[in-house]
Amino acid sequence: MSLEEQFKQVSDSVRNWKTKPADSENLALYSLYKQAIAGDVNIPEPSGMVENAKWKAWTSRKGISSDDAKKQYIELAGQLKGKYA
């Protein structure tokens, strides 16, 4: 299975977990997902509290390649799966 296929499979399964991960874990997953699919942050900093937290988490991944972000996402999701799936 290619990295892209594995990433898609894992990201689809994360959306169907029984329980939502803790905020910090969810931000980590979100930021890796965004970095994997969109690359470095490409939008201005938002003002809303939730949106700003997501933006800052994504910004923290700046410079990570798409493939590395996918690998890190898959690894983190694997660590959290037993807790939330």
CATH value at residue 13:
1.20.80.10
Domain containing 21: what range? Answer: 3-84
Buried b (16+ CB within 10 A) or exposed e, 46-64: eeeeeeebbbebbeebeeb
Q: Sorting pLDDT into bands at 50, 70 and 90, what band is 1?
A: very high
| Per-residue pLDDT reduced to its tens digit, 31-67 | 999 999 999 999 999 999 999 999 999 999 999 999 9
Cβ atoms of 85 and 17 within 8 Å: the answer is yes
Structural domains counted in the chain:
1
